[in-house]
Amino acid sequence: MTRCNCLRTRFVLSLAFSLLLCCPVFAQNPDAGTTGFSSVKLIYSARANAMGQAMTGRSMSFEAIQFNPAGLLKIPNRAVTTTFMDHFVGSAGGSVSYLVPKNIYTSYGFFLNYWNSGSIERTDIGNNGELIELDDSFAAQDILAGFSLAKFLSPAVDAGGNVKFLLDQIDGKSATAAMIDLGIMHHTANERIKVGLTARNIGFQISKYSDSDFSESLPLSLNAGLGIDLGKKTHLNGDLSKTTGENFVAKFGVEHQVHPALELRGGFKTNSSDYKLKGALGFSSGLSLGLGWVWKNYTLDYAVASYGDLGITNQLSLRYNLPN
C-alpha cells in the first residue's frame, strides 16, 4: 500500500475513534427507550457473547455477519452455523447462517434469525393505578433475514456490508423494516493488531403496525473495535459502542487456547449498571464466560452471560466447515 493510502486510512480510523470517544461512556442518555425493533440488537453467537460481544475489531468467523461483515473475507472454508439462545423470562431465539469464501477478493453469506417472547400475561391498569392481571396472554416474535458481502480493497483494508429485512409481530399485529450494516477492517503494519469500524442498523420502517400510524425508529449502532493477538493462543478484544437510546458501552473479551481442541473465553460489558438492582445476582452483571470445542470439521461453542437480577442467558452455537 502506498504512503498516501496508508495516511488516509489512519486519518479515517482516527477520526472515527474520536467521534466515538467524544462522549462519556457512563453518561446518562436522555433518549433511552426511544427506538423500536429492539430485537435487531440481539446477538446470536456463543463465542461473541462469551467474549463480552467485543468482536468489531476481530470478527474472523461467522459472527462477522453480526459485528463486522468485512471480517468474512478471512473465513477459509464454506460453513453452516446454527445458534440457539435461551433468553429472559421464557423468551428464546435462534439463527442459521451459510458463508461462502468465493476467493481472496470476495466472500458472501446468508443468514436468518428468529426470536419469540414466549407467553406474556396481559395486564391492565385499574382506576387507582394498580396493575390488574387479565385472564389472557399474548406473544411477540421477530424474523430477520439478510445477505452479507465482503470485498478486498487493499492489503490493509477490507470492507463489507449486510442487507437485512425484519418482520416484527406483537399480539397479532405486524410491522416491517429494512436495514443495512457497513463495516471496514484495517490490518495494521503490526500483523497482531486489527482495527474495525461499523455502522449497523441504518434503515427505515417499511410498514407500520396494523392499528397504528406511529413510525418506529431503528436502533442505529456505531462501533469501533480493536483486536490484539498475544501470540498464537491468546486473543484480546475491545469495543466501544454507541446505540441510539443507550449510553456508550465499552466491551472487553479474552480467548485462550488451552488445547488444540479447546478454547476458554471471558468478557465484560460496562453497561452492567443498567441491570444491577438490589438482588443477589447484581454483582455479576456484565460478566460472561464460555468455551469452544473443535472436533474434525465441527466447532461447538457455549456461552453464559449475566444480566444481574434480570437473570442469565445461555447460547449454544454449532458450526460445520464444509470441504472446499
Distance CA 233, CA 218 (A): 38
Residue 117 to residues 71, 200, 226, 307: CA-CA distances in angstroms?
31, 23, 34, 17
Closest alpha carbon to 290 in 321, 259, 260, 313: 313
Residue 146 is predicted with a pLDDT of 96
Are 236 and 274 spatial neighbours (Cβ–Cβ below 8 Å)? no
* CB burial of residue 174 (10 Å; 0-12, 13-18, 19+): middle
Residue 274 is predicted with a pLDDT of 56
**pLDDT tens per residue across all 324 residues of the chain:** 444 444 444 433 443 444 344 433 334 444 444 567 888 899 999 999 999 999 999 887 888 999 999 999 988 899 999 999 998 777 899 999 999 999 999 999 999 999 998 877 777 777 776 677 777 777 889 999 999 999 999 999 999 999 999 998 888 788 899 999 999 999 999 989 999 999 999 999 998 876 666 777 899 999 999 999 998 899 999 999 999 988 899 999 999 999 999 999 999 998 755 555 555 555 578 899 999 999 999 999 999 998 877 788 999 999 999 987
Distance CA 65, CA 109 (A): 8
* CB burial of residue 178 (10 Å; 0-12, 13-18, 19+): middle
* CB burial of residue 63 (10 Å; 0-12, 13-18, 19+): buried
Residue 10 is predicted with a pLDDT of 45
* CB burial of residue 9 (10 Å; 0-12, 13-18, 19+): buried
Residue 15 to residues 9, 20, 199: CA-CA distances in angstroms?
10, 9, 14
Residue 282 is predicted with a pLDDT of 56
Closest alpha carbon to 240 in 2, 43, 3, 57: 57
b/e burial code for range 74-90 (CB count within 10 A of at least 16 → b): bbeebbebbbebebeee
| C-alpha torsion sign, points 210, 212, 213, 215 | negative
Residue 4 is predicted with a pLDDT of 44
| C-alpha torsion sign, points 100, 106, 112, 115 | positive
b/e burial code for range 21-57 (CB count within 10 A of at least 16 → b): eeeeeeeeeeeeeebbbbbbebbbbbbbbbbbbbbbb
User: What domains lie within the chain, and their CATH numbers?
Assistant: 3-321 (2.40.160.60)
Strand partners of residue 20: none
Q: How many residues are present in the chain?
A: 324
Backbone angles phi, psi at 168, to 5 degrees: -115, 125
Are 145 and 163 spatial neighbours (Cβ–Cβ below 8 Å)? no
pTM over 0.85: no
